[in-house]
Structure 1
Amino acid sequence: MKSTDFCLSTEGADVILATSSDEKYPPENIIDGRPETFWTTTGMFPQEFIICFHKCVIISKLTIQCYLVQTLRIEKSLSKDPVDFEHCIEKDFNLRHQVSCTLEPEDLLSSCLPGQPDLEYKEGELQTEEFSFPEFQATHLRFIILSAFDTFVSVHRVMTEGIAQDV
């Protein structure tokens, strides 16, 4: 069976909740399939958005393209309504996940200690993070931006690889 990106409006996805909205940068931009459009937050954190698939899908991989996101939590729901969310993953882009290194001794202190960035923020470049999971079912995905590197963040795309669940 062919894998599909269900996080597209053309596949029937909707952003059914977003905690902030700007008419120039609406949350629907996340699912329009165009990386040059985006949703932007309006400051305070946490911020969140929920994508509804309107059917049960089996997801094996998820990718997010965003800008200035520091800590992100992703949750799933199998309910018909956007309730009863379960934790999928939480990623802190500010903490190094791999502490072991093969650097020269003089580089160890600056490069291998926990708490150093593992995803460098580079001005003008999108953060692209790919999450591979054991396959899971979902009717809704909730993305909670817990913190940011600046006052505002943008989310450009959310992409999934998955198949529709036979009912």
Structure 2
Amino acid sequence: MRGSDWCRGSAGAAVLLATSGDERHPAGSVTDGSSETFWTTTGMFPQEFIVGFPKCIKISKVTIQCYLVRTLRIERSVSKDPVEFEQCVEKDLQHTEGQVQMEEFPLPDLQATYLRFIIKSAFDHFVSVHRVTAEGTAENT
């Protein structure tokens, strides 16, 4: 059985920090469950955002829908606060001209209270992140 998507506002997730902001395309768009809305960066890299979960979860897979991202790093924290992150994965994404990039990262049994997404470089001055998902189950506490 597949787990729930914990990166949704309706599941209690929230974007706690984003390094850039545009009132028309806020960071919270990545957790609203829609691919139509998005967060956009404002030049200069790296850019990052942190998604916090209501409790520690065991993640099986993280998916990101984005545009013009070249290098992405995902880090996790199991701390009570969004500190002490450790790298889970870093990947160079393929450039897809005029199309949203859809990237899946299998992360079996990865525990996390927070995920930090770091866009290290891009194919253009601006990128957009449309949606992130984290499939998994709640940890028994």
Same fold (TM over 0.5): yes
Structure 2 partner of 1:122: 97
Higher strand fraction (1 or 2): 2
Structure 1 partner of 2:42: 42
Letter of the 1:121 counterpart: T
Give 1 or 2 for the bigger CA radius of gyration: 1
**When the two structures are superposed, what TM-score results if normalisation uses the length of structure 1?**
0.82
Could you list the runs of 5+ residues in structure 1 that have no partner in the other structure?
Answer: 94-118
Q: Deviations over 1:71-109 (max 9, x none)?
A: 00000000010000011000012xxxxxxxxxxxxxxxx
Whole-angstrom distance in 2 between the partners of 1:6 and 1:56: 10
3-state secondary structure, aligned to 1:146: strand
Provide the aligned C-alpha RMSD in A.
Answer: 1.0
Could you list the runs of 5+ residues in structure 2 that have no partner in the other structure?
Answer: none
Q: Deviations over 1:32-84 (max 9, x none)?
A: 00100000000000000000002100000010000000000000000010000
Structure 2 partner of 1:31: 31
* Over 3 Å off, 4+ runs: none
Structure 2 partner of 1:141: 115
Structure 2 partner of 1:6: 6
Structure 2 partner of 1:131: 105
**When the two structures are superposed, what TM-score results if normalisation uses the length of structure 2?**
0.97
**Percent of pairs with identical residues:** 62
3-state secondary structure, aligned to 1:28: helix
Residue 157 in structure 1 maps to residue 131 in structure 2: yes
3-state secondary structure, aligned to 1:43: coil
- State the 1:2 CA deviation: 5.6
Whole-angstrom distance in 2 between the partners of 1:46 and 1:120: 18
Whole-angstrom distance in 1 between the partners of 2:38 and 2:78: 26
